[in-house]
Amino acid sequence: MSPRRSVAEARQTRADILAAGVRLASADGLEGLTIGRLATELRMSKSGVLGHFGSKEELQLAVVDAAAEIFAREVPDRVRDVRPGLQKLTAMCAAWVSYLERRVFPGGCFFMAAATEFDDRPGRVHDTIVGLTSVWDRDLYRQIRTATADGDLPADTDADQMVFEVSGVMLGLNTALQLRRDASAPARARRALGRLLGQPIAAVTLLMVLASGPRFQPPTRHRRFRFPRRRLSTA
């Protein structure tokens, strides 16, 4: 076997482990993700799985990174070329609703679940989740401020408050879809967001759905987590 082929196979094995890890962690949580469970899932030895990460914490961090790549592809990347301000803010919200409605992750929003799981657990995983979610919040904030400066939102708009309320709508949508299987929840979320933004987002959401790919596409390659402040941004 050539060295080049050996490296390629090792990368593919790592990608397969991460794809399975994202799928399992989405449904059962990052703490439920173990070397042994992944080994059984992939029909590998424990040492074979462990050799790619070294510890459970490193595995969790790599899975969070892989999940961030999927979220970035499904939400921020879809609106990257939209004009900044209210137009982009509306498209971001539409893409976010579509991402939840299409159940991109088997267990609902990966980061909402991870945030709940690690909200009171200090450490590297907690800090990574905070860093990634903060990027998205800051991008929403920037678009709100731009829309306000453009006159598309009222001059007295409180950007921090609007970010809080938009995030609350999305959290409610994720809970309604996952806990109650409420098929009417996406439409209710769009109406709530429309009231917050002062315009309907249903048409924008439809365009996002039409442009969407499969519900869940495991990452074909893994890029090591280094710059959490940039990963989920639409900039």
Per-residue pLDDT at 7 = 79
Query: Would you call 90 exposed, middle or buried from its count of C-beta atoms within 10 A (0-12, 13-18, 19+)?
Result: buried
Q: What is the DSSP string of 154-171?
A: -TT--HHHHHHHHHHHHH
Task: Look up tokens 């921090």; give the residue.
Answer: 160
Distance between terminal CA atoms of the chain? 43
Q: Per-residue pLDDT tens, the chain, 235 aa: give them.
A: 555 567 788 889 999 999 999 999 999 999 999 899 999 999 999 999 989 998 999 999 999 999 999 999 999 999 999 999 999 999 999 999 999 999 999 899 999 999 999 999 999 999 999 999 999 999 999 999 999 999 999 999 999 999 999 999 999 999 999 999 999 999 999 999 999 998 766 555 544 444 444 444 444 333 333 334 445 666 6
Tokens at 235, concatenated = 């900039």
pTM for this model (two decimals):
0.83
- The residues near 177 (Cβ < 8 Å, ≥ 6 apart) are 100, 101, 103, 108, 185, 186
Q: How far apart are CA 213 and CA 216, in angstroms?
A: 8
DSSP assignment string, 33-98: --HHHHHHHHT--HHHHHTTTSSHHHHHHHHHHHHHHHHHHHTGGGGTTSPTTHHHHHHHHHHHHH
